[in-house]
């Protein structure tokens, strides 16, 4: 009985110390892991935040540039026929789109879907207005038709509003 008491007298405190050290070290390593993870996330945000903000800026600029009213001001040449203006407007929209295609990585899928809708609507609107003109129509005729259209409910405006609100929420 004395030997068992002697063994338990040293074993029980050792087991208690071991268990205490185990839990303390386990908690320390978990805390350290959480700290490293937070530091990593902070570093990722520090790097990706400017890229994301730049993507929102570029896409807002893209939407502004493909708006038919603003596009006319940049592309219009009075000597062109309506068909030539139509081609140049569509080319300009496609060029802007392909230039900003990679920005979809930095925004939400909903925002990108709205941007695609704005792109398609701008192209469709120009084609529809162009096809409604006579064959001999001039660039001035097409530009006048485009400038007369109501853009308050357009997909471009909807995408712009969504991008702005998403950017405000994100930053």
Q: Where are the domains of the chain?
A: 49-170
Q: Structure pTM? A: 0.74
pLDDT digits (tens, 9 = 90+) for 8-41: 888 999 999 999 999 999 999 999 999 999 989 8
Of 84, 83, 82, 149, the C-alpha closest to 122 is 149
d(CA 126, CA 82): 11
Spatial CB neighbours of 37, under 8 Å, sequence gap ≥ 6: none
3 state SS of 126? helix
For 144, the token pair is 């006048």
Q: Tell me what pLDDT residue 135 has.
A: 87
Going 102 to 106 to 112 to 115, the CA torsion angle's sign is: negative
Q: Tell me what pLDDT residue 28 has.
A: 96
d(CA 121, CA 117): 6
3 state SS of 108? coil
d(CA 71, CA 104): 22
Spatial CB neighbours of 162, under 8 Å, sequence gap ≥ 6: 110, 111, 114
d(CA 53, CA 27): 38
Say yes or no to pLDDT of 43 above 90: no
d(CA 13, CA 140): 95
pLDDT digits (tens, 9 = 90+) for 111-155: 999 999 999 999 999 999 999 998 889 999 999 998 888 665 688
Q: Tell me what pLDDT residue 164 has.
A: 92
Q: Tell me what pLDDT residue 3 has.
A: 82
pLDDT digits (tens, 9 = 90+) for 48-100: 889 899 999 999 999 999 988 889 989 999 999 999 999 999 999 999 999 99
d(CA 18, CA 27): 14
Q: Tell me what pLDDT residue 151 has.
A: 61
Q: Tell me what pLDDT residue 22 has.
A: 96
d(CA 139, CA 145): 10
Kindly report the length of the chain. 171
């Amino acid at each position: 009985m004395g030997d068992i008491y002697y063994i338990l007298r040293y074993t029980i405190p050792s087991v208690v110390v071991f268990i205490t050290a185990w839990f303390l070290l386990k908690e320390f390593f978990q805390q350290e892991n959480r700290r490293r993870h937070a530091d990593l996330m902070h570093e990722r945000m520090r790097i990706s935040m400017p890229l994301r903000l730049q993507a929102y800026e570029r896409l807002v600029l893209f939407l502004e540039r493909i708006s038919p009213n603003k596009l006319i001001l940049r592309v219009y040449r009075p000597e062109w026929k309506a068909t030539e203006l139509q081609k140049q407007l569509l080319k300009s929209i496609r060029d802007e789109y392909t230039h900003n295609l990679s920005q979809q990585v930095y925004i939400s899928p909903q925002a990108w879907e709205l941007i695609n809708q704005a792109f398609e609507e701008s192209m469709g609107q120009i084609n529809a207005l162009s096809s409604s003109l006579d064959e001999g129509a001039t660039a001035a005729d097409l530009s006048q038709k485009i400038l007369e259209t109501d853009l308050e409910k357009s997909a471009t405006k909807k995408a712009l509003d969504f991008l702005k609100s998403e950017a405000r929420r994100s930053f």
